Structure 1
């Protein structure tokens, strides 16, 4: 990657306690896409237990849950991203765009000050 083309990784830390970053945002997106916590976790290379733990952490931090889930069984289980969850994703994505778009000049200026790398 060119030193003048940094990647933005937004990490929001709240006293809830909650850290909301690209991983949890991607987990929410994939739950919304697949309707399943386990499928979303698999797509991200994590266990169901880890994915469920992250969902519980997010759900506990907000006034209303971000993910609603139902247990498996004869009819199968599933999970949906709630309206609050989609709102959180919308605002998270907006903040990332804001940093990328309005911060482009500052990001380029920092990149220009960096030492050249001689990768051989």
Structure 2
């Protein structure tokens, strides 16, 4: 028998756009790890175009960009998280963890209300 689990998915909305959420947080972490939007996209199993769209949305929603890119040259291009990007990512992960911890106190109540 599968027991009920509480899963919290936090999303930050800015006007009509999802400015930040779990997928964008994962993408920022992958960019920080690989130093590249294309490598981050590959690691996450998404197209470069989709990854770039997500970065563009994030950069457009925040007061300062979260990701900066360098154009190619002999060593190729690259991408780095800005200080703002690091701050947004850390704040999101902290808030996400706190929400998860708080929501577990409701686990038994939800189990009682759901079908077995």
- TM-score of the pair, normalised by structure 2: 0.89
Partner of 1:39: 39
State how many pairs are aligned: 116
Partner of 1:73: 73
**Structure 2: stretches of 5+ with no match in the other structure:** none
Report the more deviating stretch, 71-80 or 33-42: 71-80
Q: Distance in 2 between matches of 1:54 and 1:28?
A: 10
Q: Distance in 2 between matches of 1:53 and 1:108?
A: 40
Aligned alpha-carbon RMSD (Å): 1.7
Q: Distance in 1 between matches of 2:16 and 2:108?
A: 34
Q: CA deviation at 1:83?
A: 0.8
Q: Distance in 2 between matches of 1:5 and 1:45?
A: 26
Alignment of 1:1-120 (within 5 A): 2-15=2-15, 17-116=17-116
Report the more deviating stretch, 62-71 or 6-15: 6-15
What is the CA deviation profile of residues 37-68 of structure 1, one whole-angstrom value per residue up to 9, with x for unaligned ones?
A: 00110111111111011101100111110001
Structure 1's 25 and 108: CA in aligned 2 closer, same or farther, altered over 3 A? farther
Q: Distance in 2 between matches of 1:40 and 1:16?
A: 26
Contact 2:4 2:107 in 1 (8 A): yes
Q: CA deviation at 1:30?
A: 0.4
Residue aligned with 2:13, SS: strand
Residue aligned with 1:9, SS: coil
- TM-score of the pair, normalised by structure 1: 0.87
> More helix per residue: 1 or 2?
2
